[in-house]
């Protein structure tokens, strides 16, 4: 089995973004320790819009300069230890700003790429990719959409072809959500390790120009989420997120997951990490070739870091841990 450990490297986007130290630097340091100890590469999807806005705002607010330096230094460390960095876009940074004390996050009509007109869309994708390539000094060819909002893909197709984005890993089978600010629907996506596509990320095309490596998914029971919420209250030191921010609101989601079976991604975040071994065994039985795990440094817990390390320790000799830079 090829196992891709991927992490969206970003702040929170709710009322409170959290600090760079607790949401990004400190938890990522724990991930890099695991990567170095077992010589397994990880792929970090860098929220490039944040870096660009951080650089712009630090010229006006000197307090941000240390954050910018810490993030850039950590990206260098990722690359030096054999990890990979690829493109992650949360376009709301185009309209968010720092007011001298905190980040003011604007998400109305700007949270997903589809909210922007064609000229704005072209600028965002091309500029963000070139910025990441400049600071990483490496070519970037893989994309993950912020909030999984890659639909409709046909507006991105020609831009991706022009700038050399060949791979995507935004889709997870069965995923479906809609709110005021963002939406995705992957219920019709192929249930495969990877597949080619052209106009629509959910429609396989044998000769497609792009290759989707879906995030692995699982149908979770309400009992799983009841345990998740209860453990967080009974053992907060083990199950509280390291990050100190607040998620963007997902109206109705909590009720939905506590009352019905739902498809969601396979993740190293929090209690989700408890399913890593189960999913690996299930995917082997079903003859999958690739397992893509998503995570967010900001959402890791002491529990999930321990479980992730145990998973890597017991898997790295029997399976092939890969990063996206290895794909040709």
Domain positions in the chain are 2-326
H or E element that contains 32: helix 26-38
155 pLDDT higher than 80: yes
Query: 53 with 93: CB under 8 angstroms?
Result: yes
124 phi/psi in degrees, rounded to 5: -60, -55
Query: 146 with 90: CB under 8 angstroms?
Result: yes
Q: What is the pLDDT of residue 69?
A: 97
Quick one: average pLDDT of 303-310? 98
Quick one: average pLDDT of 185-200? 98
328 pLDDT higher than 80: no
Dump pLDDT digits (tens) for 89-103. Answer: 999 999 999 999 999
249 pLDDT higher than 90: no
- Go through the chain and tell me how many residues it has: 328
- Confidence band, pLDDT 50/70/90 cuts, at residue 2: very high
- Provide the CATH topology of domain 2-326: TIM Barrel (3.20.20)
Q: What is the pLDDT of residue 143?
A: 98
Percent of the chain with pLDDT over 70: 100
Q: What is the pLDDT of residue 41?
A: 98
Q: What is the pLDDT of residue 250?
A: 83
Please tell me what DSSP assigns to residue 320: E
The chain-wide mean pLDDT, for the chain, equals 97
With 0-12 / 13-18 / 19 or more C-beta atoms within 10 angstroms meaning exposed / middle / buried, residue 10 is: buried
Dump pLDDT digits (tens) for 38-53. Answer: 999 999 999 999 999 9
Q: What is the pLDDT of residue 253?
A: 85
Q: What is the pLDDT of residue 51?
A: 98
């Amino acid at each position: 089995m090829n196992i891709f450990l991927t992490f969206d490297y970003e702040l929170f986007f709710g009322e409170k973004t959290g600090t760079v130290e607790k949401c990004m630097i400190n938890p990522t340091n724990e991930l890099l320790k695991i990567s170095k100890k077992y010589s397994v590469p990880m792929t970090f999807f860098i929220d490039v819009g944040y870096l660009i806005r951080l650089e712009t705002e630090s010229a006006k607010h000197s307090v941000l300069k240390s954050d910018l330096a810490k993030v850039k230094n950590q990206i260098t460390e990722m690359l030096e230890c054999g990890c990979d960095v690829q493109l992650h876009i949360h376009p709301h940074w185009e309209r968010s700003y720092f007011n001298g004390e905190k980040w003011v996050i604007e998400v109305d009509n700007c949270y997903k790429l589809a909210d922007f007109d064609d000229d704005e869309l072209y600028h965002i994708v091309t500029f963000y990719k070139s910025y990441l390539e400049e600071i990483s000094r490496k070519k970037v060819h893989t994309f993950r959409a912020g909030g999984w909002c890659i639909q409709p893909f046909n507006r991105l197709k020609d831009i991706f072809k022009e700038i050399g984005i060949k791979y995507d890993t935004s889709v997870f089978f069965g995923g479906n959500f809609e709110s005021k600010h963002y939406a995705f629907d992957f219920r019709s996506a192929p249930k495969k390790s990877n597949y080619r596509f052209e106009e629509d990320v959910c429609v396989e095309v044998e000769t497609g120009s792009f290759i989707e490596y879906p995030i692995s998914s699982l149908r979770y029971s309400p009992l799983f989420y009841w345990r998740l919420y209860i453990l967080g209250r009974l053992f907060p030191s083990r199950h509280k997120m390291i990050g100190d921010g607040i998620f963007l609101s997902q109206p109705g989601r909590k009720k939905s997951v506590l009352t019905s079976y739902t498809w969601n991604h396979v993740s190293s975040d929090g209690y989700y990490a408890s399913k890593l071994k189960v999913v690996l065994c299930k995917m082997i039985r079903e003859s999958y070739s690739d397992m893509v795990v998503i995570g967010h440094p900001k959402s890791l817990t002491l529990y999930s870091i321990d479980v992730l390390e145990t998973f890597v320790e017991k898997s790295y000799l029997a399976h092939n841990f890969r990063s996206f830079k290895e794909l040709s």
